[in-house]
Amino acid sequence: MTEMNEKQETVLVTGGSGFIGTHCILQLLEAGYRVRTTLRSLKREAEVLDMLKTGGARQTDALSFYQADLMSDGGWMEAVSGCDYVLHVASPFPAAVPKHEDELIIPAREGTLRVLKAARDAGVRRVVLTSSFAAIGYGHEQTDKPYTEESWTNPDQPNVTAYIKSKTLAERAAWDFLSREGGALELTTVNPVGVMGPVLGPDNSASIEYVLRLMNGALPGSPRLCLNIVDVRDVADLHLRAMLHPAAKGERFLAVAGDYMTMHSIALLLRARLGNSARLVPTGKMPDWTIKLVALFDPAVAQVVTDLGKYKNTSNEKARRMLGWSPRSNEDAVIATAESMLRFGLLKVSKKP
């Protein structure tokens, strides 16, 4: 979405060092907005500027940084004051599997409410909340019926992980807040599936870690996982459309490129399209017990391991119809992920012919 902003409106992007957040900033700057972003530590300011440069930002003079943490009130009113819109992208993700689910649920829920309250009190027009497919497609029996924005995860079902619960309860809390005490504030949510696409720095999505591990030969085979995919550039584009379109007020939008891909088909795609650079990608299948063992220590794996052998059909019809959104293909998102990791030197490239 490249329409220039002639009014010089101001947009706050929370979590500007994150994968989605950085791409949102890139597109907002390109469209001519004044942009603010929050970081838990301003020591990361130079790192964010480097990522934006890598992403092709032609200028960053319109970008300013604010220190704020989801678990503290400090800094939020200063960050949102004078803003027209807020893209609330920041969300906690653990470095290790949490001992108790509240370690994820409380920061996600309370952080979301903290940002919404500050936005309401500052007279912000609309908040676009980055939710997740985690708030849509879990806690249900296997079905061929596509998941849509009408679907909600049932967090009370067994095998619903702490991360999935945190995203579900945070979005529920956001809608409840808006209905009870949101005032004139408008809310829209974007619910991405597994986010892939060009890597700009060290903070990336769990989905990208799967491609990294396949490419580095860190997995002995392809797990029996089916992944729903969307390119990060299209997720950022959908945020901007949801921010601006009048019809997006009070709506949820599922961000998904198309049908799911199996990990095995991703491995075959990488081998076919990247040649020698993908020689380490395993073409065999990975036993379930192996990935379950990894999940004991890796939160990125733990959140999907309960879906071994399962698939989820999804629909992006609403975003296409209402907002004119047109995402890239699954294949383009996967290859863009791998090519960017090659540029960053993150992969062990085989020297064999």
Q: Which residues are catalytic?
A: 167
3-state secondary structure of 66: strand
One DSSP character per residue, 260-307 reads: -EEHHHHHHHHHHHHGGGGTTS--SBPPHHHHHHHHTT-HHHHTTGGG
3-state helix, strand, coil in the chain (%, to 5): 45, 15, 45
Instruction: Dig out the tokens for 254 from the structure.
Output: 């599922």
Provide φ and ψ at 333, rounded to 5°. Answer: -65, -40
CA angle 3, 9, 11 (to 5 degrees): 95
3-state secondary structure of 93: coil
Nearest to 229 by CA among 338, 132, 334, 138: 334
Interatomic CA distance for residues 269 and 274, integer angstroms? 8
Alpha helices by DSSP H, listed for 55-190, are 76-80, 102-121, 162-181
Interatomic CA distance for residues 13 and 88, integer angstroms? 6
Instruction: Dig out the tokens for 172 from the structure.
Output: 């529920």
Nearest to 303 by CA among 106, 157, 112, 138: 138
